[in-house]
Structure 1
Amino acid sequence: MVTEEIKISLKGTTLEGDLTLPTNPKGLVIFSHGSGSSRFSPRNNYVANILQAKGIATLLFDLLTEQEDSIYQNRFDINKLTNRLIQTTQWIYHQKNTTGLPLGYFGASTGAASALRAAAFFENSISAVVSRGGRPDLALDDLDKVKAPTLLLVGGLDTKVIWLNQKAYEKLECLKKMEIVPGASHLFEEPGKLETVADLAALWFDKWFGKTKEDVSG
């Protein structure tokens, strides 16, 4: 297992990230964090650690620079965040140590919207998407274009977000599943609930990283 601090050179900016590669990884999951968060998100790092233990590579990175993040409106600019995720994915495609790996997205909170919009952009090039307590409704206009099998995870106590996820679930035309985690709030802070999320996410990625495009479309 190797973890490397990386600089992601994009047009006009450089983003910082942490890339972890297990031996012979099954695939790579790129994390899209929620508003006001970063690559240091303790919840996303917890999930990433579980994925890594299952042989899945992870990339946690900052979608905004420090200066950009200081402007509150940027944190909710889904267009900007989606574009950053798309550019970062394209950057990953060209790195020697990640070439050819199946790719997936893990989106938390508002990050789920940028993950799903990026998945719609890449179509069949993304193997799977997982949303944790996400706001997929913020990507409503693009959901019917998502090809990647998508798992929506929502806390059973997070009633408003359950409704928003159900609305988004109906719009998705890909292979899809919605799991409500009983007794969990929006951040899954209750004992054992984040572990449940991580285990469900790992199973989902593990399943779809091993499938062909024909399996997914069929």
Structure 2
Amino acid sequence: MSTLLMTEPVQLGSLALPGDLVIPPQALGVVMFVHGSGSGRRSPRNRWMASAFQKHHLATLLFDLLTEEEAQDPRLVFNIALLGQRVVEAIHWADHHPDLAQLRLGLFGASTGAAAALVAAAARPDRVAAVVSRGGRPDLALATLPRVQAPTLLIVGGLDTEVLALNRMALRQLHAHKRLEVVPHASHLFEEPGALGSVAVFATSWFEQHLCAGRHA
């Protein structure tokens, strides 16, 4: 079986959002990307990370959370409730997708997208098997965090001191299996040499551990 590449809309009711789906041979699970403000499915950073996951037999879905028009409205870009609901609807779409329905699901959130991913994980504990946050703002979903059941990994750059403090605060509110990994000498976007590679190692290991568990049960 060869790698399956599809560019297709993620259908959320009457709303169709552009999406890119890659399913490698013998996929162990699927990782849905939940991008942050100012980012999208074409982000080079997200695409690099998706490629790293695919090399470990993890399918990836990158899609835009907002339409082009909506993305121009700051009120929507930072509306965590709306973004979280979009992710919940995307999970519902995946539930009925013939190539995804049987794969265990992980959410990979960045910046404000991490909060939206955690909102969705709390809403769909039956479906979300793991969450990874890269330089995320889980504090924006603070009231929701105690209801998250999925194992959650928070990855923050050591130089990103303000976000690191917010992640430590959020970590205390998570009752699920959880971990905070700090990448030394890395800033918010992990642009330093080797920093994004460290994120990939941590995230891949987390998804492999939790998406493969019970796969053949």
Give the letter aligned to residue 58 of structure 1.
T
Give the letter aligned to residue 20 of structure 1.
V
Q: Which has the higher helix share?
A: 1
Q: Unaligned 5+ residue runs, structure 1?
A: 214-218
Contact 1:124–1:147 under 8 Å retained in 2: no
Q: State whether structure 2 residue 154 is matched by structure 1 residue 152.
A: yes
Report the Cα offset of residue 45 of structure 1.
Answer: 1.0
Structure 2 equivalent of residue 171 of structure 1: 173
CA distance in 2, matches of 1:200, 1:92: 25
Moved over 2 A (4+): none
* Deviation digits for residues 177-216 of structure 1 (CA, Å, limit 9, x no counterpart): 1000000000000001001101110010001112239xxx
CA distance in 1, matches of 2:193, 2:56: 22
Query: Percent of counterpart pairs with the same letter?
Result: 49
Report the Cα offset of residue 12 of structure 1.
Answer: 3.1
Where 2:131 maps in the other structure, the secondary structure is: strand
CA distance in 2, matches of 1:2, 1:12: 26
Structure 2 equivalent of residue 11 of structure 1: 13
Give the count of matched residue pairs.
213
CA distance in 1, matches of 2:70, 2:59: 27
Please list, as runs of the form range in 1=range in 2, the aligned pairs for 1:41-60 lying within 5 A after superposition: 41-60=43-62
Q: Among residues 80, 86, 89, which one is paired with 2:88 in the alignment?
A: 86
* Deviation digits for residues 19-66 of structure 1 (CA, Å, limit 9, x no counterpart): 000011000000000001110111111111000000000000000011
Q: Unaligned 5+ residue runs, structure 2?
A: none
* Deviation digits for residues 122-178 of structure 1 (CA, Å, limit 9, x no counterpart): 114211100000000001001011111000000000000010000000000000010
Bigger shift: 120-129 or 158-167? 120-129
Q: Among residues 210, 213, 217, which one is paired with 1:211 in the alignment?
A: 213
Give the letter aligned to residue 201 of structure 2.
D
CA distance in 2, matches of 1:143, 1:72: 24
Structure 1 equivalent of residue 133 of structure 2: 131
Give the letter aligned to residue 199 of structure 1.
V
The alignment's TM-score, normalised by the length of structure 1, stands at 0.95
**What is the alpha-carbon root mean square deviation over aligned residues?**
1.0
Contact 1:31–1:106 under 8 Å retained in 2: yes
The alignment's TM-score, normalised by the length of structure 2, stands at 0.96
Where 1:169 maps in the other structure, the secondary structure is: helix
